[in-house]
């Protein structure tokens, strides 16, 4: 069976004013189904860049990324959008929930793009919201939730389509210690239940210490601790 995720010698540069900014200079890593990994590294070291590439939001300048044995960048733009919608769940530092929608509607948003995938999703959304202890907040708007609750809702949204990759960029960065610990507990619990590959970018050494695998990104390269 192919690896869930294989990143091979990936480079990423951005066009700068005078010369390109080389952010990633040959990053390689492999993760099997069910594995969980933390990515740490100084600000500006390319952690979000790497997560975006793994999440197929952006293409590497060189090197390859394969997910479940396939190169997603071989797909056409609409096929890639569909692949991403099914395969990748994102959780960001700032929840990215839409203010005009209820919690339940926010969790269902990723199912709207592809009507054929909508079957049974409302029930799943309710189950996920129960798993993140928000079953009593279904009709609330994001502004009516605490920071920790918003982040828990965004975890439920990331999982709605049953992704094989759950990618989190500083998911506890804007939370106090207690809420951060609760969101982290939840990520590990759902990672176990849903058998996703879990990748979490974090500045918190405490959170990183809870992962079986830890990568540190520095000067464009990754080393496993
Ligand atoms: N679209 C872009 N165009 C040009 N440069 C970019 C772009 N996105 C990121 N960069 C540069 O790439 C480098 C890495 O950025 P990135 O956001 O990946 O860092 P990070 O490790 O996530 O940092 P932080 O911990 O502060 O979130 C930075 O120097 C940034 O300025
Ligand atoms: Mg970042």
- Give DSSP secondary structure letters for 68-131: TTB-GGGS-HHHHHHHHHHHEEEE-SS----TTS-HHHHHHGGGTS-GGG-TTHHHHHHHHHHH
Q: How confident is the model at residue 18 (pLDDT cuts 50, 70, 90)?
A: confident
Question: Which mutation among 23, 52, 171, 208 tests ligand 1's pocket best, with the greatest number of atoms within 8 A of CB?
Answer: 23
Output the residue whose Cα is nearest ligand 1's atom 29.
44
Q: How confident is the model at residue 19 (pLDDT cuts 50, 70, 90)?
A: confident
pLDDT (average), residues 151-167: 95
Return the number of other C-beta atoms located less than 10 Å from residue 94's C-beta. 13
Is pLDDT above 80 for 1?
A: no
Q: In this predicted structure, what is the pLDDT of residue 128? A: 94
Q: In this predicted structure, what is the pLDDT of residue 99? A: 97
Quick check: 54 and 197 in contact, CB under 8 A? no
Q: How confident is the model at residue 94 (pLDDT cuts 50, 70, 90)?
A: confident
Which H, E and C letters describe 43-77, residue by residue? CCCCHHHHHHHHCCCCCCCEEEEEECCECHHHCCH
Picking from 79, 68, 82, 72, the residue whose alpha carbon sits closest to that of residue 52 is 72
Output the residue whose Cα is nearest ligand 1's atom 27.
43
Percent of the chain with pLDDT over 70: 100
Q: Full-prediction pTM beyond 0.75?
A: yes
Which tokens go with 98? 């839409």
Q: What is the pLDDT of residues 105-157, one digit of tens each?
A: 999 999 998 888 788 999 999 999 999 999 999 999 999 999 999 999 999 99
Alpha carbons within 13 A on the beta-carbon side of 118: 8
Which ligand has the shortest distance to the CA of 20? 1
Which tokens go with 60? 């590497």
What is the rounded CA–CA span in Å between residue 63 and residue 46? 16
Q: What is the pLDDT of residues 29-45, one digit of tens each?
A: 999 999 999 999 999 99
Percent helix, strand and coil across the chain, each to the nearest 5: 40, 25, 35
Is pLDDT above 90 for 64?
A: yes
List the helix and strand counts (H, then E) for the chain: 7, 9
Q: Is 212 helix (H, G, I), strand (E, B) or coil?
A: coil
What is the rounded CA–CA span in Å between residue 137 and residue 6? 38
User: Which domains does the chain show, CATH number per domain?
Assistant: 5-224 (3.40.50.300)
Q: Where is average pLDDT lowest: 18-27, 40-49, 113-122, 189-198?
A: 113-122
pLDDT (average), residues 159-173: 94
Q: Residues near ligand 1 with C-beta < 6 Å?
A: 14, 21, 23, 41, 43-49
Atom of ligand 1 nearest to the CA of 50: 18
Average pLDDT, the chain: 94
Q: In this predicted structure, what is the pLDDT of residue 52? A: 96
Q: Which residues fall within 8 angstroms of residue 81, CB to CB, at 6 or more apart?
A: 113
Ligand 2: distance of its center to the CA of 175 in Å?
A: 16
> What secondary structure letter does DSSP report for 188?
H
């Amino acid at each position: 069976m192919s690896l869930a995720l294989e990143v091979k010698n990936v480079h990423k540069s951005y066009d700068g004013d005078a010369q390109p900014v080389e952010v990633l200079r040959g990053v390689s890593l492999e993760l099997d189904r069910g594995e969980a990994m933390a990515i740490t590294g100084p600000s500006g070291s390319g952690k979000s860049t790497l997560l975006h590439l793994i999440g197929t939001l952006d293409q590497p300048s060189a090197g390859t990324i394969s997910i479940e044995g396939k190169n997603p960048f071989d797909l056409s733009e609409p096929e890639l959008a569909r692949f991403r919608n099914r395969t990748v769940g994102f959780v960001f530092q700032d929840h990215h929930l839409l203010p005009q929608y209820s919690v339940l509607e926010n969790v269902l948003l990723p199912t709207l793009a592809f009507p054929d995938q909508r079957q049974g999703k409302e029930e799943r959304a309710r189950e996920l919201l129960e798993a993140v202890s928000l079953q009593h907040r279904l009709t609330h708007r994001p502004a009516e939730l605490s920071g920790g609750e918003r982040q828990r809702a965004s975890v439920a949204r990331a999982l709605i389509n049953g992704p094989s990759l759950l990618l989190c960029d500083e998911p506890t960065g804007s939370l106090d210690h207690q809420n951060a610990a609760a969101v982290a507990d939840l990520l590990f619990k759902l990672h176990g239940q849903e058998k996703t590959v879990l990748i979490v970018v974090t500045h918190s050494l405490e959170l990183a210490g809870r992962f079986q695998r830890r990568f540190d990104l520095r000067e464009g390269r990754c080393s496993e601790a």
